[in-house]
Amino acid sequence: MAKKTAGQTLQLGQPTPMPASPGEAVLDRVPNPHTDTNYVARFTAPEFTTLCPITGQPDFAHLVIDYVPGKHLVESKSLKLYLVSFRNEGSFHEDCTVAIGKRLFGLLKPKWLRIGGYWYPRGGIPIDVFWQAGKLPKDVWVPDQGVQPYRGRG
């Protein structure tokens, strides 16, 4: 039987097919058990894949998503399925990175969220994209995202 939270059925704990596109992907949220505490939750997707909207060739990125939760957390299985749904989607690096950040921010309504998209070179030029929203509480320590700039064979 599917697990439920606040009247909604979660994908967690049951077979769930991969969504055909980000628009069809369902992102689940669960209650934050520590709403009285400011802390950072981090998700890292080092093998994120999408398609070039012009050539249809695959593009690869290392995504890092940091957020300070409010009332809700993103459920990790649904986030993984959402991110995987981009592998058949044509999207520019900037559009893809910002769209993920905006969707998460709209769903979770966190105190603060940032996403770093560290993209591998396309046409010889790496493109890194950063987006954030909300206000970082003063008492929160946010570590560096830890992704080195692209250096090639350097």
Q: What is the pLDDT of residue 2?
A: 43
How far out from the chain centre does Cα 58 lie?
A: 18
**Is 128 annotated as catalytic?**
no
- Global confidence as pTM: 0.91
Whether the per-residue pLDDT at 1 is higher than 50: the answer is: no
pLDDT cut 70: percent of the chain above it: 93
Angle at 131 between CA 130 and CA 136, to 5 degrees: 115
Domain 37-134 adopts which CATH fold? GTP Cyclohydrolase I, domain 2 (3.30.1130)
Select the more confidently predicted residue: 37 or 8.
Answer: 37
Q: Give me the residue spans of the domains in the chain.
A: 37-134
Catalytic residue among 52, 66, 96, 139: 52
Is residue 59 annotated as a catalytic residue, yes or no? yes
Tell me the pLDDT of the chain averaged across its residues.
Answer: 92
Q: Which residue in 28, 59, 66, 96 is the catalytic one?
A: 59
**pLDDT higher than 70, residue 7:** no
